Amino acid sequence: MKRLIITITISLLSGLASAQTAKIDLPEGLSCSTREGRVKYIATFVPRYYSWLTENIERVPPDVAEYLEQEYADTVKNFPAGEGRYTLLVQNQFWHAWQLRRELDRAAGLAKSSSRVLFTVPDESPLKNEMLVYLSLVDQHRKVMEQFDVYVNFDKNRKTPVLKRDDNFWYSKGLLGGMFSRPIEILIDCAFK
C-alpha cells in the first residue's frame, strides 16, 4: 500500500513518463537491488538528466552570481521596503539563468547528499528515508521545470535568444519534463523488493 501511495504521489508531482523511456538508462542490476547501487544511480542520473540544460543556457559570471545572491537575500529580508531593488534585480540580464542554475545546483546537491541521508541519518525505518529522498528529488525536479519554463519565456523575447527553437530543443524540453519520474518509480519498486 505504501509503495502504491508513493508511486502515485511521484506520478502526480512529476507527470507521467512518455513512451521514450529507452533514451534514459533505467536502474537495473546492482543499481536496483542494493541501496548502495540506488544511491550511486541517483548520483549519476541527476546530473546526466539535466546536462542538456546546463550545456545550453548561458553561464552566469561568478561576480554577477555573487551580486545576485547577495542582493536577492537583502531584498527578501527587507521586503516590501526593498521592492524597488527587487525590480532592478529581476531586470539583470542574467537573472533568469541564475535562477535556473540555482535550482539545477540544488538538484545536484540533493543527489550528492542522498548517500548521507540514506546511510548516516539514524531512523528506525531506512526505507522511509529512502522514500523521502525520492520525493525530495521529484519536488526539486518540479522546481527546475517551473524555472525552466520561466527561462524559456524570457529567452524567446530576447533580441537574440540563447536557446535555438529547433527539433532538438522541443524534444529535449519534452524529455526533461516527462521522463524524470520513470527511473524514480523503478527505484521505489526496487527498494520494496
Cα of first residue to Cα of last residue in the chain, in angstroms, is 14
- Residues 61-94 have pLDDT tens digits of 999 999 999 999 988 887 777 788 888 999 999 9
Q: Report angle CA 28, 33, 39 to the nearest 5 degrees.
A: 85
Contact 94, 64 (CB under 8 A): yes
pTM over 0.75: yes
- Residues 149-179 have pLDDT tens digits of 899 889 988 898 888 777 666 666 666 666 8
Task: Give the DSSP per-residue string, 11-50.
Answer: HHHH----S-GGGS----THHHHSHHHHHHHHHHHHHHHT
